[in-house]
Structure 1
């Protein structure tokens, strides 16, 4: 396994296979320890990257590390983080919408904020061909959040 900083750097790679392999390794590490949480600022910066794949990976890593957010960095940056749910690229928005319930599970204090953001997404300006898919994803995410204990 590579060093964590090398795996994080790989998230910016244009080689999608390499980047997603690194993403998978980082997610696995994040599931069992807080070793990756120290790169939170990197993940936050990724949300503003011009590359849509990098933005998506950043959101996934933020969600994957939410359980370790003892310093409430997610809470402090929630507006910036949730902007990706309205990403101009519907594929990015859809992938992140599907991960929103995982964030809500780890951050119960942010559930109302997440639900409000998701409900706003029901009025999207995506092309008609994508609207029904986004609506379905949003509805599923809302239902998953509402069913959390």
Structure 2
């Protein structure tokens, strides 16, 4: 089963892989059915194909709410390094997904915000950098308001 899941997420047919990822993300909003595969999803964080990384970042974020075993602890560093992914679209996906991670796992909020502040965005084209900065700002706002309400 798990080899099948990895194969479906990394298949050459991006339409199929994307549809499968969307199904996992959608179902993960409501149930922990996919959480048992958390480590398998995390193993794809460094996949050479950015579309696979995009899918996995969002799947992991959707499953953060079910992470009672704190599996995220061993993957948060790998997740955060995608804030400055070589592909700006993946960086943006990561930054947006971090809002969901922070809401589900407030213990990471300081680390997420600190990673934003230390992120070197100079490698991105001038057309992408403002978009990435805007995503960071929006995620910061979400996390800041959640931090206030949980104190």
TM-score (norm 2): 0.89
Query: Which position in structure 2 is the counterpart of 1:125?
Result: 123
SS at match of 1:134: helix
What is the deviation of 1:92? Answer: 0.6
TM-score, normalised with respect to structure 1: 0.90
Cα distance between partner residues in 2 of 1:12 and 1:99: 20
Gaps of 5+ in 1: none
Deviation per CA, 1:64-109: give whole Å up to 9, x if none. Answer: 1001111111122211111111101111101111111110000011
Q: Could you say what the CA RMSD is over the residues aligned between the two structures, in angstroms?
A: 1.8
Number of residues of Structure 1 aligned to a counterpart in Structure 2: 147
**Residue aligning to 1:84:** 82
Do 1:66 and 1:106's aligned partners in 2 also have CA atoms closer than 8 Å?
A: yes
CA-CA distance at 1:146 after TM superposition: 0.6
Q: Could you say which residue in structure 2 is the equivalent of 1:71?
A: 69
Per-residue Cα deviation, 1:29-57 (whole angstroms, up to 9, x for no partner): 21222110111122111111100011111
1:101-112 matches, within 5 Å, as 101-112=99-110
**Whole-Å Cα distance in 2 between the matches of residues 72 and 43 of structure 1?**
15
SS for the counterpart of 1:27 is helix
1:116 alignment partner in structure 2: 114
Instruction: Name 1:100's counterpart in structure 2.
Output: 98
Partners of 1:49 and 1:138 lie apart in 2 by 23
Shift of 1:124: 3.6
Partner of residue 9 from structure 2, selected from 8, 11, 18: 11
Following superposition, the deviation at residue 127 of structure 1 comes to: 1.6
* Structure 2, gaps ≥5 residues long: none
